[in-house]
Amino acid sequence: MDLITLALVAAVVLAVVLLTRRHKRRRPSPETPTPGGDAAVPTFRVVTLGPRGSGKTLLLASMYHQMQTWGGRGFFLAAPREQVALLNHWFTEVEDPGRDWPAGTVTADTREFTFDVRTRGRSGALHTVFRLSYLDYAGALLTQPPEPGSTLWKDLDDRIEQADALIAVIDGHRVRQWLDGRREGQMGLQHALTAMISRMLVVEKPITFCITKYDLLRDIDADEDGRLRTVRKLLMTNQGFRDLVNEHAGRRVVRLVPVSAVGPAFAELDESGAMTKLPDGLLEPTNVDVPLAAVVPDVFEQIMLRLDQAKLAAEFDRLRRQTRRSPGEAFADLGATLIRSTNRVIGALNPLYASLVGLAAADLVRRQEENAATHDAYVTRLLDEAEAHLEDFQLAQRKVIREFRSRVDVLEGRLSSSRLGGTP
């Protein structure tokens, strides 16, 4: 290599390095923990997809209203003051029979809500054990062609790419119309499904399909699971939905959850097909907490699904042999390996959460083994030992994961049709 060539190559490499560093300085990576911030609290990012009028915002308001207090659970949600005010304002608009429904979300009002999942540790101290960031946006970004010069649709695609889990909202009113043989129901639902699925097929994240306004479907079958089976059968006639369920069944957690933000005795359809509040309606939200409760356990479950089973077995063998290390270190090591192994799928998961992932993985394996009656006493003992050494914060974290998991299990036990893919 002559000197001129060498100088030219060096100059170009230097220019690229400088440009890259400048770019990085201007746009800090979202994965980088904020200095001085609470890096030990994992944040799970959720994006909700759904067409206009499908009930995304109502679901969010009802979900928060139900989960902002203990309500018999071992945790509750907290949010920044201005977000609480907005969510409560929406919910008040909904629950007051004398007031109109809230107007639809305007494109400019795309918002990210941050929910702290809080619980008490053994010491009695309150801990924020997780954060859930929840993106609420106008359905126009999903189903309408972008206007000239629009940029938010690209932003939505980026958010989907960065999300840890997706919630896809299916309008139960459209399902009702389709079942009643009305063409607008079938067309509306097919259009929405196609728009959602084209985006969801390319990113392999856990998905919860929520059928909103489920109270409108209560008369299609007396049996609760039979009702969900009917809806599932209808949805499977959409090729995209069928492909998503069939193609991804083995490696992606896909759920179908019936929800109602208001319950069966609050509103009814009028002659024009619009929802009208009943004057003495009773507000009884149904299953609105499930989509959010499913996020964290589904992210962990998907990590396990995507792992090569031989590699997983080898990792657990390694865990068993690590007699010199403390259980806490052993689980952190396991978690770090699992995160590395699934980095492309769970790219957003911070490596700092290794211990949490390791423990959650071991919990999941123990649960699966218990189900399969091949219970591994060693892993159980290790988990119990680990529990004795864990900090108050980590124990609180684990307690909430188990409670999330249990909420999802209860639904699956009651409605076996709710599991579409990634069955353990």
Rule CB under 8 A: which residues touch another protein?
A: 1, 5, 8-9, 12-13, 15-16, 19, 23, 52-53, 100-104, 106-109, 138-140, 143-144, 146-152, 173, 270, 272-276
Give the span between the Cα atoms of 229 and 258, in whole angstroms. Answer: 11
State the nearest-atom distance from the C-beta of 8 to another protein, in Å. 6
Give the span between the Cα atoms of 290 and 424, in whole angstroms. Answer: 19
Give the span between the Cα atoms of 262 and 270, in whole angstroms. Answer: 16
Instruction: Please state whether 238 falls in left (phi above 0), alpha (psi between -120 and 50) or beta.
Output: beta
Rg (CA), the chain: 23
Q: Which are the contacts of 356, defined by CB distance < 8 A and separation ≥ 6?
A: 42, 335, 394, 397
State the nearest-atom distance from the C-beta of 213 to another protein, in Å. 9
The enclosing H or E element of 39 equals: none
Question: Kindly report the CA angle at 218 between 47 and 188, in degrees rounded to 5?
Answer: 50
Residue whose CB is less far from another protein, 227 or 277: 277
State the nearest-atom distance from the C-beta of 148 to another protein, in Å. 5
State the nearest-atom distance from the C-beta of 393 to another protein, in Å. 38
Residue whose CB is less far from another protein, 143 or 162: 143
State the nearest-atom distance from the C-beta of 228 to another protein, in Å. 23
Give the span between the Cα atoms of 217 and 236, in whole angstroms. Answer: 17
**HSE-up of residue 76 (Cα within 13 Å, Cβ side):** 11
Crossing angle of helices 377-389 and 327-341, in 10° steps, is: 110
State the nearest-atom distance from the C-beta of 71 to another protein, in Å. 28
Give the span between the Cα atoms of 421 and 298, in whole angstroms. Answer: 11
Contact 62, 91 (CB under 8 A): yes
Residue whose CB is less far from another protein, 22 or 311: 22
Residue whose CB is less far from another protein, 21 or 233: 21
Residue whose CB is less far from another protein, 114 or 150: 150
Give the span between the Cα atoms of 358 and 300, in whole angstroms. Answer: 10
Residue whose CB is less far from another protein, 53 or 297: 53
Residue whose CB is less far from another protein, 99 or 340: 99
State the nearest-atom distance from the C-beta of 100 to another protein, in Å. 5
Residue whose CB is less far from another protein, 100 or 180: 100
State the nearest-atom distance from the C-beta of 147 to another protein, in Å. 3
Question: Kindly report the CA angle at 416 between 304 and 160, in degrees rounded to 5?
Answer: 50
